[in-house]
Structures are given as structure tokens and as C-alpha cells.
Amino acid sequence: MAGRIVVLVSGSGSNMEALARACERGDVPGEVVAVAADRSCAGIDIAARRGIGTIVLDPKQFEDRDKWSRTLRDRILDHAPEIVVSAGFMRILAPVFVDAFPGRLINLHPSLLPAFPGAYAVRDALHAGVRVTGTTVHFVDHLVDHGPIILQEAVPVDSQDTEQTLHERIKAVEHVMLPRACRLLLEGRVRIVEGRVLLSPG
Ligand code: GRF
């Protein structure tokens, strides 16, 4: 049976779409059953067009952040996901959310963590003048852009790069890496041992 995947987005949702396609092709033994966002965005439109369930919860419509976090958590739990993927979700996930998905909540971040955490990872890498940056998929813990690393891929920086051109190349790599990470998880090949990820051969 296909592993149930919920994806959190805030923007263009290209990684969510790449993952949904990989599932449909059979490259990932899963199905994107819902897409959740903190705002109306292209990612939600893509999900709706694909017939995927959508959840939009704007924190501004809630009394406080805690109520928003709990509601988002409960709406996602309704979908009984095996994996929850944060892919371009521009909110910090509170412990009350994170603790509901032990070993099942992963984040995609456009740098080689622990370098360049935060919302401007691609810009920060360019400003730092690094020759190589990349992307990371990791389990989410209580710190921002932190937790056991599942996969990383390097992306060289060109001298001509702008934030946009570099991010586009990073995303092209992410579109392959994220489905691969989900496949590893759904095949039960990912274990956390003493805070580090061990991958079993297929
Ligand atoms: C990705 O680069 C991801 O690493 C970062 O935000 C971007 C989301 O892009 N967290 P998209 O919405 O999947 O196109």
C-alpha cells in the first residue's frame, strides 16, 4: 500500500509537484494525500489541480500561534501521514507540532547544513562567496533548520550566479533528492542512531 505523504508549502510548490509526480511514476512507494499551507499560494493551486486535498490555515486568523500550530497538527493528523514534508514552508514549526510526528517529519533546506540555516540560505551562500553550496533533507527537531541529516547534494556556485539562477539549479537537484529521501523513508531504510542517520542498502 502507498505510504501517505503530507507536504507543507508556502510558495511555488515545485518540490511538492516533483514528489507527487515521482509517486505517480512509481519511483516513490507513496502518495501525496494532502498539501497544507499558511497562505494561498501556487503550491496550493497545483495540488488542487492534481486532485490532492488542500489545507490553508493562515496564522493571522488564529488567536495565537499555539492555537494555529495545534489546528495545523490536527488537520494533518486527520490524513494519517507516514511522512510529513516541509518543502518551502516559511513558518517555524512549534514543538507541539514537531512532537506529533516523531521520525516522520522532514524538511528540505537549500544549503549544505549546518551552513546557512534560515530563510535566506541561497543569498547568504552567495554573499559568503562559497564555491559550492547545495541542499539538505533532514529530520526536524526543535531547532530551526536542524536535525539528523538524511541526504545532501552539492551544487557548484558560478561566478555569474544571481540568487535566482543559483536557487533554480538547487531546486533542480532537490526535485530528484526529495523523492529519493521519501523512498528511503517509506522503504524503512532510514534509522537514527545517536543523533545521526544510518541508511540501509536497498
Ligand atoms: C526549496 O528550495 C526548499 O529547499 C526551500 O524552499 C524552496 C521551495 O521551493 N525550503 P518550491 O516551493 O518547492 O518551489
List, for residues 130-145, the tens digit of each pLDDT value.
Answer: 999 999 999 999 999 9
| 91-95: long-range contacts, CB 8 A cutoff, minimum separation 24 | 91/10, 91/38, 91/59, 92/144, 93/69, 93/140, 94/65, 94/66, 94/69, 95/142
Atom of ligand 1 nearest to the CA of 12: 12
Give residue 127 CA to ligand 1 midpoint distance, Å. Answer: 19
Residue 138 known to be catalytic: no
Percentage of residues in the chain with pLDDT exceeding 90? 98
Mean pLDDT of 191-200: 96
Atom of ligand 1 nearest to the CA of 89: 10
Report yes or no: 35 and 12 within 8 Å, Cβ to Cβ: no
Does 1 score more than 90 pLDDT? Answer: no
Q: For a substitution probing ligand 1, which of 174, 175, 176, 177 has the most ligand atoms within 8 Å of its CB?
A: 174
How many helices (H) and strands (E) the chain has is answered by 6, 9
- For residue 202, name the pLDDT band (cuts at 50, 70, 90): confident
Q: What's the CA dihedral at 82, 88, 94, 97 to 10 degrees? A: -20
Among protein residues, the one with the nearest Cα to ligand 1's atom 8 is 88
Give residue 134 CA to ligand 1 midpoint distance, Å. Answer: 12
Report yes or no: 174 and 136 within 8 Å, Cβ to Cβ: no
Give residue 14 CA to ligand 1 midpoint distance, Å. Answer: 7
Q: What is the DSSP letter of 162?
A: -
Question: Would the pTM of this model clear 0.75, i.e. be above it?
Answer: yes
Q: What is the pLDDT of residues 46-57, one digit of tens each?
A: 999 999 999 999
Give the separation between CA 31 and CA 142, rounded to whole angstroms. 27
Give the separation between CA 129 and CA 159, rounded to whole angstroms. 9
User: Residue 173: its pLDDT value, please?
Assistant: 98
Among protein residues, the one with the nearest Cα to ligand 1's atom 5 is 88
Q: What is the pLDDT of residues 59-116, one digit of tens each?
A: 999 999 999 999 999 999 999 999 999 999 999 999 999 999 999 999 999 999 999 9
Amino acid of residue 110: P
Cell of 193: 542512531
Q: What is the DSSP letter of 59?
A: G
Among protein residues, the one with the nearest Cα to ligand 1's atom 9 is 88
Mean pLDDT of 198-202: 91
Mean pLDDT of 15-33: 98
Give residue 43 CA to ligand 1 midpoint distance, Å. Answer: 10
Among protein residues, the one with the nearest Cα to ligand 1's atom 7 is 88
Ligand 1, CB within 6 Å, residue ranges: 9, 11-15, 43, 87-88, 108-110, 135, 170-171, 174
Mean pLDDT of the chain: 97
